[in-house]
Amino acid sequence: MPEENTLRVDVRYLVQRGPSLRYRRVVPKPLRSAIGCGVWTKTFKPGTPRAEVLTDVERLARHHDSLVQRARAGEVLDPKAIADAEAAARTFSEAERLDVLALVARAFDPTPDPFLNALRHGGKYVPEVISLQTAYERDQKRYAKGRDAKPFDYAVDTFAAIVGAKDVRLITRADAFAWIEQCRRDGLSDATISRRANSLRALLNRTYLDLEVQKVNPFEKLGLSGGHGSATDRLPFHKSHLALIDAYIAQSSIKPETRDLLQLLKFTGAGPAEIGGLLTGDVSLDGEIPFIAIRNNSLRRLKTKMRERRIPLIGEALDAARAAVKRAEENTRGNLFPTFGVHGRGADMISSRLNAAIRRAGVPVSPRLVAYSFRHSMIEALKVTGASSDLRRLIAGHAAKDAHDKYGAPAALLREARDAMLKAVERLGDVDESIYAGAELVRS
């Protein structure tokens, strides 16, 4: 039949056998002992609808892909091989089992062998336990091309602390909620927790698909208010907010690191992670125009290539950079702010710390008035003072609109950026009050 002949050519593992179609897949020779057979087949009756054939073939291919992956990972799938291995292992006494394992362990890794597996577990074959960390390592190899690994790293590390070595197939919603509560105790916002939960949900979705597990993902519909405090909601600080922060910075009791972070944020327009993750090598203090280089380094990655830039150091930001570099000279890691990256936490820890400082200064509690608002304040002030769009993009690290934005002598561009920023700082906080809700303004 014409339709069946087309299938024979186009669909992997599907062949024509007389009037019938047959799914046929050969098991790789090295895996046949683990899987327990040499070939998988299924014959479809003549006249079976094409859509039904295609659906079933796709299901079989996915299932057998999973079996091949599991066998290659060392898991024994053949029920007879498991039963024989258990029976043989039970004939040994406990002392004999320990002697055999000690002997074999010196020669090779015994994990893939079902007999040795059963020996190690008292005569009972124990299937491979796939921990969260193991699942993540496999996911990195198969799916990580081109993606930013850090959100996954942070999420996996913190969730692994909750579930330990538990098999991913046994993770529950109670585990997910316990992780959420721990994140909140650590000071993370719901927006940050939601982003990390999305990473964990994606990881488990792919893991369950690979294992062909029919299971509700424990990270589905957790009720997190992840939309609050997103970048589109953040506002620049009003001059009344900045006055409170300036007064707070002037207090002798403030920690030097916190003071310098706040000053650098206020006078550069960079983001919290961009400042918090600076190394001493990213700071140039000796040239005509001192600057910081925002670029990928050993502490943190940038969101996009366009975020790489040099920002002039002006006003109090220059003093703050000098003080931070001086402190860092005794720091073997070479980072200006040693708490960045501690316990695997970078941007979220810096933001949480700075947001707490902003509240102590008296800025009203609002998800729209946070550490990132310093960045919006500088960008707004550059607009108010008439800085050209290409200079604003250069300072903020936004994507260029046309090719000419990418060209120009670096020293000249740095000088133009410095001049534009010096004008802008005079207008920081010069913002229309109508953009704020009543509770977000500071009333004298």
| Domain-embedded: residue 252 | yes
Q: Quick one: 311 and 415 in the same domain?
A: yes
Q: Quick one: 149 and 175 in the same domain?
A: yes
Contact 269, 372 (CB under 8 A): no
Domain encompassing residue 104: 79-120
| Domain-embedded: residue 251 | yes
Question: Which residue, of 191, 211, 228, is where some domain finishes?
Answer: 228
Q: Quick one: 323 and 305 in the same domain?
A: yes
pLDDT at 419 over 90: yes
For the chain, what is the radius of gyration of the CA atoms?
Answer: 30
The rounded percent of the chain whose pLDDT value lies above 70 is 80
Q: Quick one: 304 and 333 in the same domain?
A: yes
Amino acid identity of 35?
I
Q: Quick one: 192 and 266 in the same domain?
A: no
- HEC readout, 317-369: HHHHHHHHHHHHCCCCCCECCCCCCHHHCCHHHHHHHHHHHHHHHCCCCCCCC
| Domain-embedded: residue 367 | yes
pLDDT on residue 112: 52
Give residue-wise pLDDT tens across range 360-387.
999 999 988 999 999 999 999 999 999 9
Contact 67, 77 (CB under 8 A): yes
Amino acid identity of 366?
S
Torsion, Cα of 178, 180, 184, 186 (10° steps)? 70
Supply the DSSP symbol for 145.
T
pLDDT at 65 over 60: yes
pLDDT on residue 389: 87
Question: Which residue, of 196, 228, 260, is where some domain finishes?
Answer: 228
- Distance, in Å, from the CA atom of 172 to the CA atom of 43, rounded to the nearest integer, reads 39
Contact 197, 159 (CB under 8 A): no
- Give the helix ranges, DSSP H, for 212-314: 239-249, 256-268, 272-276
Contact 343, 330 (CB under 8 A): no
> Look-up: residue for tokens 């593992």?
13
Q: Which residue has the higher pLDDT, 117 or 235?
A: 235
What mean pLDDT, rounded, does the chain reach?
82
Supply angle C-alpha 183, 186, 188, rounded to 5. 60
Q: Quick one: 61 and 88 in the same domain?
A: no
Smallest CA-to-CA distance from 413 within 320, 311, 324, 315 is with: 311
pLDDT on residue 289: 93
Q: Quick one: 196 and 333 in the same domain?
A: no
Mean pLDDT of the region 218-245: 78
- Distance, in Å, from the CA atom of 282 to the CA atom of 292, rounded to the nearest integer, reads 6
Strand partners for 309? 294
Burial class (CB in 10 A: 0-12, 13-18, 19+), 306: middle
CATH at residue 211? 1.10.150.130
| Domain-embedded: residue 164 | yes
- pLDDT band for position 231 (cuts 50, 70, 90): very low
Q: Which of 43-52, 246-255, 343-352 shows the lowest mean pLDDT across its residues?
A: 343-352
Q: Would you state the structure tokens that stand for residue 223, as one six-digit string? A: 């009720």
pLDDT on residue 145: 65
CATH at residue 340? 1.10.443.10
Amino acid identity of 415?
R
Q: Quick one: 264 and 321 in the same domain?
A: yes
- Distance, in Å, from the CA atom of 347 to the CA atom of 344, rounded to the nearest integer, reads 10
41 three-class SS: strand
- Distance, in Å, from the CA atom of 136 to the CA atom of 163, rounded to the nearest integer, reads 14
Q: Which of 261-270, 326-335, 378-387 shows the lowest mean pLDDT across its residues?
A: 326-335
| Domain-embedded: residue 127 | no
Q: Quick one: 176 and 286 in the same domain?
A: no
Strand partners for 310? 293
Strand partners for 294? 309
- Distance, in Å, from the CA atom of 288 to the CA atom of 139, rounded to the nearest integer, reads 48
pLDDT on residue 107: 44
Q: Quick one: 98 and 41 in the same domain?
A: no
b/e burial code for range 204-216 (CB count within 10 A of at least 16 → b): beebbebbeeeee
pLDDT at 338 over 60: yes
- Give the helix ranges, DSSP H, for 91-131: 94-105, 114-120
| Domain-embedded: residue 125 | no
Smallest CA-to-CA distance from 20 within 52, 56, 44 is with: 44
Question: Reading across the β-sheet that carries 309-312, which strands appear in turn?
Answer: 283-284, 291-294, 309-312
Instruction: Using alpha carbons, list the distances in angstroms from residue 32 to 35, 39, 87, 212.
Output: 5, 9, 21, 20
Question: Which residue, of 92, 120, 148, is where some domain finishes?
Answer: 120
How many domains does the chain divide into?
4
Question: Reading across the β-sheet that carries 39-44, which strands appear in turn?
Answer: 14-17, 20-26, 39-44
CA 91 to chain centre: 49
pTM summary value: 0.54
Q: Quick one: 334 and 408 in the same domain?
A: yes
- Distance, in Å, from the CA atom of 414 to the CA atom of 290, rounded to the nearest integer, reads 9
Q: Would you state the structure tokens that stand for residue 299, as one six-digit string? A: 């502490």
pLDDT on residue 403: 41
Mean pLDDT of the region 401-422: 70
Q: Quick one: 26 and 42 in the same domain?
A: yes
Q: Which residue has the higher pLDDT, 82 or 375?
A: 375
pLDDT at 100 over 50: yes
